[in-house]
Each structure stands twice: as C-alpha cells, then as structure tokens.
Amino acid sequence: MVGEDVAHKGRFLVVHDYGMGGSWWWVWARSAREVREVFAWVEVVADPETVARFETEELEEADIDAPRMPAGLDELRAERDAQRVQEGFGALADRSIVHLRRRWEEDEEPVDYLMEVGSDGRRLRQVELPENGIALRSGPDDWPFNPPVVDLFDPVLVGQEISRSDFEEQWAQARPTDSGE
C-alpha cells in the first residue's frame, strides 16, 4: 500500500538478497539511504538495466512512512527498529570499506574470519584463521555466490571492526584458498 503523500519521495527498487535468491519491493522514500536506515538487510538497486527489468514486474509497493509493510519488509523494519536504540547503530554505514573480525563457532573447530567488506555488505576479500594455524585467503573468484554477509548499520559490528593494517598483515601471510601447498 502506498500512502498519498509521495510527492516528495522517489520510488526505489529494494532487494533483500539471501544468497540463493531474494525478495524484491518498490519502496517510496526520500532517499536510498533512508531505505537502508529503515530496513535491515536491504539494498537499493541503482543499476539502470536491473531497474528497467523490474519496471514490468508486479512487485509490492510500500511507502516508507506507512504503519504497515508488505510481508518480509515488515520483519526487516522491526529488526532495524530494535537496532536503532543500541549504541553504535549506523556507525559503519557510510564507509566504503570496512574490515571486520568475526568468530564462527558453528562447526567442530571454531574459525575467525577477517573480512574486507564493501558498502553493500558483500565480502571483497577474506582471511580464514582456523585454530590449526593455517590461514587461507580468498576473494570473489573463490566463492560461488557472494550475498551480503553484514549489514553496516548493525551496531554489533562496531565491536568487530579491525584496522586495515591488521587485515593486510594477515592477508599477506595467508595461503591462497586454492593453494596445493
């Protein structure tokens, strides 16, 4: 549902990319940044060819100021609302590159991932630091797909940030993923 007060707003193509697919909407908002600030885990698509391709699609539309959102978008707004009250909300959002250290403990052996991510939350480069000490580095050519892995408005990321020099030092020491050594 689109509100009546859209004269000062533009229509933005918005996607929530979850890796093997995504959910798409048209959102009426004052800016692309406003869309990203109001909804967690979304991208505003600016590529003219993609926007043109979706012009003929029957996507749900939403006014950013409406009290109710389409399914899926409502949950992303609720997640963002919960983040907004936390210290550090949006601190990394306007950076073009961010370096993070994230711990992954879901497998048998915990692994630290050092990631260089772009403003869209996608990995640019990554160093995997398993506890066995054999660091591996990888880039987009090594990944079958590269969805956003972080949302730079998320306040939790502030505590995971590392310096570029720390990342570069580990990158230089790590073996390439496809290394047979």
Quickly state the pLDDT bin for 7 (edges 50, 70, 90): low
| pLDDT tens-digit readout, 52-61 | 999 998 999 9
For 64, 120, 145, 181, the CA distances from 59, given in Å and listed in that order, are: 15, 22, 24, 50
54: closest CA among 18, 26, 33?
Answer: 26
Residue-level pLDDT at 132: 79
Q: In a 3-state reduction of DSSP, which class is residue 38?
A: helix
As a whole number of angstroms, the distance between CA 53 and CA 129 comes to 41
Residue-level pLDDT at 6: 55
Residue-level pLDDT at 131: 84
| pLDDT tens-digit readout, 65-119 | 999 999 999 999 999 999 999 999 999 999 999 999 999 877 678 899 999 999 9
Question: Which DSSP state fits 177?
Answer: T
Quickly state the pLDDT bin for 171 (edges 50, 70, 90): very high
Average pLDDT estimate for 33-61: 95
What is the enclosing helix (H) or strand (E) of 22? strand 22-29
Quickly state the pLDDT bin for 1 (edges 50, 70, 90): very low
- DSSP character string of 107-175: SSS-EEEEEEEETTS-EEEEEEEETTS--EEE-GGG-S-------TT-GGGGGGB--HHHHHHHHHHSE
Average pLDDT, the chain: 92
Lookup: tokens for 42: 């979304």
Quickly state the pLDDT bin for 181 (edges 50, 70, 90): very low
Q: What is the pTM of this model?
A: 0.88
